[in-house]
Structure 1
Amino acid sequence: MNFTYFIPTRILFGAGKLNELATCALPGKKALIVISSGKSMRANGYLDRVIDLLKKNGVGSVVYDKILPNPVKDHVMEGAAVAKTNGCDFVVGLGGGSSIDSAKSIAVMAKNPGDYWDYVSGGSGKGQPLVNGALPIVAITTTAGTGTEADPWTVITKTETQEKIGYGCDATFPTLSIVDPELMLSVPPELTAFQGMDAFFHAAEGYIANVAQPASDLFALESIRLITKYLPIAVKDGSNLEARSAVAWANTLSGMVESTSCCISEHSIEHALSGIHPEIPHGAGLIMLSRAYHDFMSDKAPDRYPAMAAAMGVDISNLPLEKQPKAFVDALATLIVDIGMADISLIDYNVSPEEAEAIAANAWDTMGGLFELDPYRLDITDTTSIIRDAFVK
């Protein structure tokens, strides 16, 4: 009972909430709208709606539309230059986690000198203090995956060194976030599954992290419960607004977990995996690593796993104490089947078991700090072993 709670973001949650962008208080008069390089924001009319709603609120806008699914530093620097050239005084991230994360990083570099990697810690980052803060950030999420609308974290890749590293500080919390499940109805089943499981693992990792606290525990267990119940429904029927809303709220809760606890080394390993193989969607990478990771961790640090199993609907009262931690691993395997992801494998993404040592080394070099938050202290040999085990069905 000794912790800090700080989530300064105003969240507008619910179907139709995007319309309030026309009337709510905004942190500036000219926005840089950051979207992905894909077609969905334009094809679904979301970009035009946001531009129009901002205009009704007396706000002009400029669009930066080059963000990749695994966003890269070069686009952060370019986007920041666009913001400065056009006199933008706040940044809107519109889309999934990649667009909102990029918006946060662009907001940092629009106000600070040098290179983005000057401020990143880990790998070749210089870990310099952020002197000038960041432009205000508005997050409008069209997916339910990263929880970035409720936390300060942003994950960017330095392509030339294959370093995928998280960064965040008080200045990178969104000022305002709009979570409108109606914007998520168009997400296809596969991406719905990948994104939902990213939120699931944010919650699960935050629950077993050695910095967990009472607030993060509440957020995490409810997120796990909602995703287990509603993600299979949303995958099977993307038009089900009740399921979309439940998964969206679970995702926002998982962001709150990220703000009050933290991810652990499962995310370090996946960042290394998709840093080396950027074609791997982050959620897919987590799914493919998860059974091996949690099978290992539930052996070494079993104490918090039974509560997660119970949140997933397992009646652990009928199980011997020694079998309760593995009930979570079994329930996780069932959930992966229920969302249609049981057959994806690292081999499908051209990852070889011979890369296990390199992936483990990358994880320790770039995001070694998260290993300090594990409930059981892994070493490089354990990490390599987990990665190798992830190749085994």
Structure 2
Amino acid sequence: MWLRVVDRPGATVFATLSATEAFSRALVAGVIPLEAYRLLESARDVSIAYTVIGVVALLASFAVPVVIRVIRRKWIFSAGCVFMFMAPLLMLAETVVPFVGALQFRALAVVCVNISLNLYILDYIARKDFVTAEPRRLAFMGVAWFTGPGLGIYLYKTFGLEAVCLPSAVFAVIALAYFWVLRMREDPRVAPAKRRPPTPWANIRRYLAQPRLRLAWAIPFARSSYWAAFFVYPPLYIAKYGGDEMLSAMMLSAGQGMLFAAPLAGRLARELGMRRVIILAFIFTGAICLIAGAIRPSPAIVALLFFVGSAGAMTLDALGNIPFLRSVHAYERSEMTSVFRTYIEVSQLLPAAVYALLLLYFPLSSVFIALGVLLLATAWLSTYLPRRF
């Protein structure tokens, strides 16, 4: 019976695997901006570092589908777990170059794990079950992201960097071990091929030629831009204007705790329509960001605003990938998934570059205004989703 269950993983298995690898990243997520600010000494330099890291990760994301056509994707997932293991260990050096290297390994881990895991989900989860399976996966990940950032900052302040980085590395090993216990098989349509694989640029052209896939990329890009900013700029704002580090910890953990409500977002989508819920979520979170940037509030109010804004971002987490999952053709899953998930690297690269320019001339609150404008613009784009979604 155990082997039959393992041979056919379902939504709960993928949710558990996602939560395990997420906890490795979540533990150090709150510590990274604090260490970045301590080592790099300015918000602008932090933005520049994230821009460089995003460029490398973006290039790697285009290379992964080529590699998947040569070797099995289980090795890609395994490599991602190894990168995830190495990142916190490099942070222990507490100097600039190893720290930047840790951020790069962490970004590469997300590339490898995300692409391979999405392909397995497409193989094992039926299209009609996406609205149920994705919110469940997000709810499980909510456990990691609710407890991880706050716990990481507490351990960092109380016991030092080792107390955060070593458990993070351990959870990367646990995720790798659990993945190999699952013994998941691969769909032969995305297995290694003997013929020469298409170039990344051909995949991009093919992706851009499909309007629904273009829109399916824009939605998670904007949502991911919110979370990329959430983990960096509100904590920097709080630190810069005299707020306590534990205020950042509470904001990060409470905001990520919103993921527990992901199944509610799925229920709302079934009752009201996914299109309508996505539009309203973008409008709500974008308005919150504009308010935070316009009034330049105290650190405590910034933490409260971004906590509230996380409700809309959580809704987009639960539903934002579904337009892609419902639109991609089975025979080009590997190639189109690799292009689709570049929203993660681009959401770290492009906004960070814009923020670095803004911070040359404007205060830190200008980042929140730019983010709000992006979210509201994506709300307008989301009106082009098919009504049947």
TM-score by length of 2: 0.30
Greater RCO (Cα-Cα under 8 Å, separation 6 or more): 2
TM-score by length of 1: 0.29
Indicate the structure with greater helix content.
2
Indicate the structure with greater strand content.
1
